[in-house]
A and B are shown apart, each in its own frame.
Chain A
Amino acid sequence: MSEERRLGDALAAQEPMSPRLREKYDQEIKNMLEKRLNRIQKVMIWFSALMAAAMAGGFGWLAVTVTDLPTLARSTFAVGAAFALAWVGMMVRIRRKGTIHLIFDENAQGGWAYGVTLLVVISLLLLAGENPDATRSVFMVVSGLVFFLGGCLSLLLARIQQSEMRTREKMLEIEFRLAELTEAVVRQR
């Protein structure tokens, strides 16, 4: 450790800390990832849950009562209803907790959005094959492919970025060991 760093550490250690305030701060840091919902967020969550519940009801009703539809279409509605119910479950859980976990809940919502996109893509592609109207089939395939290609591109870019970060991390670890060795040798001299 350099002299300057030692002075910095010694200087920082001069500041007294109240144990009561320190404890309060530690608790806040522990809870930091969990953000308390404000009034607007609570209203939005209830609104979102109600909309999803209505969609679940609508899709479920279509899946069960409209027997004229092909099996595939009804299955798609049923899966859509399940996704909508999953969203309702997420919103209710967050609302009851009163907080939103900045990483976990956001990842869960991201995963839900990804699943819905996948559902739409697969549904469009499969249903396009069953549609007797050629024009509509083509439109459905094109729409499905747009979503599919967009999703693939996002995934590819995310993978490339992650791979670059991992490579950079490995290189930095090697640089770090070299720097430590160099400093040790210089100190010995």
Chain B
Amino acid sequence: MVGGVGKQLKDAQTIRNELLVLRCQQGESAAIQELIDTWERRLFYYLRRLLENEEEAWDALQEVWLKVMREIRGLRQAAALPTWLYRIARNTAISRLRVSSREAPVDEDQLESTDGQDDPGIQSVIDASMLHHALQKLSLPHREALTLHFLEDMKVDQIAEVIGAPPGTVKARLFYAKRALRQVLEQEGVAYV
């Protein structure tokens, strides 16, 4: 019964996010500070995976908070706070990189080739430090997808919303990203499940 009720109720983290958004929308400055304190570390980690140096990442993060403060009143779905924050962070990083934000054309052969293939099997990584080290060795698209997956436990549709790509593209990207990660971890001699 309790487990069934647990599935129907939103998890505490989602509700906490909604409350925080609501308080920010009402102009509570303590709520804005709480929002920054709660999310800055993770957003900074994500921005560092996209940007080349630390100083740029800090500048980008500051820009992110300015945009958040301007636009949070327009956020209709408070539960979508994580994807909304990461989308702003991504767009900020991309404008700094001065590359097109449009996704590269989908490689249809790649998409088809993931059908029927098993997930590369990165179910759990032994420790965060090895994962952090391995992420550095991946390409930017793979690194980005895996960062969102491991940092926020984002599912395909959430990652798709952040990067503005179709879910099929994201699914293929995650598949190849996990495969590349597995290869890096094997080279490092890391055991994984």
Contacts and interface: CB of A to CB of B under 8 A. Distances in A.
Contact of B15 (A9, A175, A186): A175
Contacts of A189: 2-3
Interface stretch (A16-24, A51-59, A84-92, A145-153): A16-24
Describe A's contact surface by its main secondary structure: helix
Contacts of B108: none
A165 to B, nearest CB: 6
A180 B118 CA distance: 36
B54 A21 contact: yes
A143 interface: no
Contacts of B12: 176, 179-180, 183
| Interface range on chain A (Cβ under 8 Å from partner) | 35 or more
A65 interface: no
Interface stretch (A38-46, A75-83, A116-124, A166-174): A166-174
Contacts of B45: 11-12, 14-15
A8 B42 contact: yes
A32 B27 CA distance: 15
B25 interface: yes
A2 B12 CA distance: 11
B29 A165 contact: no
Interface of A: 2, 4-5, 7-15, 17-18, 21-22, 24-25, 28-29, 32-33, 102-103, 162, 165, 168-169, 172-173, 175-176, 178-180, 182-183, 185-186, 189
30 contacts: A5-B13, A7-B125, A7-B153, A8-B152, A8-B153, A10-B127, A10-B128, A11-B132, A12-B42, A15-B45, A15-B48, A17-B44, A17-B54, A18-B54, A21-B58, A24-B58, A162-B26, A165-B25, A165-B26, A169-B26, A172-B18, A172-B22, A173-B19, A176-B19, A179-B11, A179-B12, A182-B6, A183-B11, A186-B6, A189-B2
A168 B22 contact: yes
Contacts of A185: 2
A11 B150 contact: yes
Contacts of A32: 62, 65-66, 69
A79 B29 CA distance: 34
A179 B13 CA distance: 9
A166 B169 CA distance: 41
A17 B57 CA distance: 10
Contacts of B55: 21
Interface string B95-134: 0000000000000000000000000000001011101100
Interface in B128-168: 128-129, 131-132, 150-153
A163 B16 CA distance: 20
B19 A182 contact: no
A26 B101 CA distance: 29
A50 to B, nearest CB: 29
Given A8-B150, A10-B128, A183-B6, A22 B58 contact: yes
What 9 A-B pairs are tightest by C-beta distance, nearest first?
A10-B128, A4-B153, A14-B132, A179-B12, A176-B15, A12-B45, A25-B58, A11-B128, A182-B6
Contacts of B13: 2, 5
Contacts of A2: 11, 13, 153
Given A162-B26, A169-B26, 8 more contacts: A2-B13, A7-B128, A8-B153, A10-B127, A169-B23, A172-B19, A186-B3, A189-B3
B81 interface: no
